[in-house]
Amino acid sequence: MKVLFVPWGLATHYFHMVPLAWAMRAAGHDVRIASQPPCADAVKSTGMLHVTLAEDHDFNAEFVALAERLRGAHKKLDENELKLKVTDEDRAALRKIRFVPFVNSAIHMADDLVRCAEEWRPDLIVADPIVLAAPLAAETIGVPMVHYMWGPALSRQIGLPTNGVPVDEWSEDLVALYERHGVKPRPEYQVGTVDTCTADLQIPSVTDRIPMRYVPYNGPGEVPGWLAERPKRPRVCVTWGTTTTEMAGDGNFAIPTILKGLAELDVEVVLAVGAAERERLTDLPDFARVVTGMPLNLLLPTCDGLIHQGGSGTLLTAAALGVPQTIVVTMPYQQLNAKQLANVGCGIQLFSRDIVEDRIASAVSSILYDDAIRASSQRLREEIGAQPTPAETVGTLEKLI
């Protein structure tokens, strides 16, 4: 069987798919990964074959520009709400703005992806639900497509096209793209959704779940000697995503304030950050150790708590390892993850207005010492571990062919 994986073009999105892609190869299937250029190195580092899509399109620049535009639009809406001037048209316009980069990426990816499918003829396509060009490839060659969910289903919550949204809510550009490829626009195309969330962590609208155990993969790395040393105090991991920094702006880079809040506690802090975040950090306290490029699934088993910005990979890695979490929300898309985690009792959610020292200290104290939160985190770990393994999921997907 030939299987074509189509992740969104960021390493963090591809990492979610790696265990299933490896399981497919281990079962003897032929696997290729098709994505935008920023994902290429991550794909090749996992031993997989990469097919480049939309080589000349910089989707990340579009999203950074969108984030800035949305901040202005939300500010205007907040001001108008005080004046009771917000209309339904205002809100509809804001929803359409959000989807422009997704649609533009689909337009740039479509020809390359359809060509790849026609030439290689996969038997199954496993696609990120935000890759709006993926259904075109599946429909063109007449093979089943499954979505691969990378956390609580943000794509369905925000009403992204091809995720259950009525066609009359699609943009004209996306409808035209589908018609150009001879594919009739429909609310959705997938025959199932591979989902590494547990049922209670996921939102109810995902009704076609193919549950799979979340197996943490956060990239390659080295095992340092100090990691085996038992911490003398509770160890708290602090991490912050580069994408969040780019889209939320420097004003929402919360690590300096988080460190001030943690100074009130008797804890050891490990800052797991990328090179871009490391450059922003100066005058680090003695209780903090900085690591760059260390996979979280290597570090978190030694930690008693985690504070982060709400990325799905970070959330699920900690959940699979039973580590209680505090999520600091600075971007709208992080709210769903924080809400779902809090709903299952495994952590605390804070918002940008809460990023003050005493609130940080209180939240981290809760995840370290609240018996209910710690018990819920262990329960969630067990529930994730009870879901079918990637190898077992391969057998389920084989039956779709």
| CA dihedral of 336, 207, 191, 338, whole degrees rounded to 10 | 10
Provide the whole-model pTM. 0.91
Give every CB contact of residue 248 below 8 A, 6+ residues apart in sequence. Answer: 67, 330, 331
> At what angle are helices 371-386 and 357-369 packed, to 10 degrees?
60
In this structure, what are the phi and psi dihedrals at residue 392, rounded to the nearest 5 degrees? -70, -35
SS3 299: helix
Tell whether the torsion through CA atoms of 73, 75, 78 and 81 is positive or negative.
negative
Per-position b or e across 104-118, b if 16+ CB within 10 A of its CB? bbbbbbbbbbbebbe
pLDDT digits (tens, 9 = 90+) for 358-379: 999 999 999 999 999 999 999 9
Q: Do domains 2-211 and 225-386 have the same CATH topology?
A: yes
Residue 118 to residue 255: CA distance in whole angstroms? 47
Percent of the chain surpassing pLDDT 90: 74
Write out the CATH class of domain 225-386.
Answer: alpha beta
Architecture of domain 2-211: 3-Layer(aba) Sandwich (3.40)
CA distance 129 to 134: 8
pLDDT at 60 over 90: no
Each residue's pLDDT tens digit, 206-242: 999 999 999 999 999 999 999 988 888 999 999 987 6
Confidence of residue 67 (pLDDT cuts 50, 70, 90): low
Domain range list for the chain: 2-211, 225-386
- 3-class DSSP state for residue 124? strand
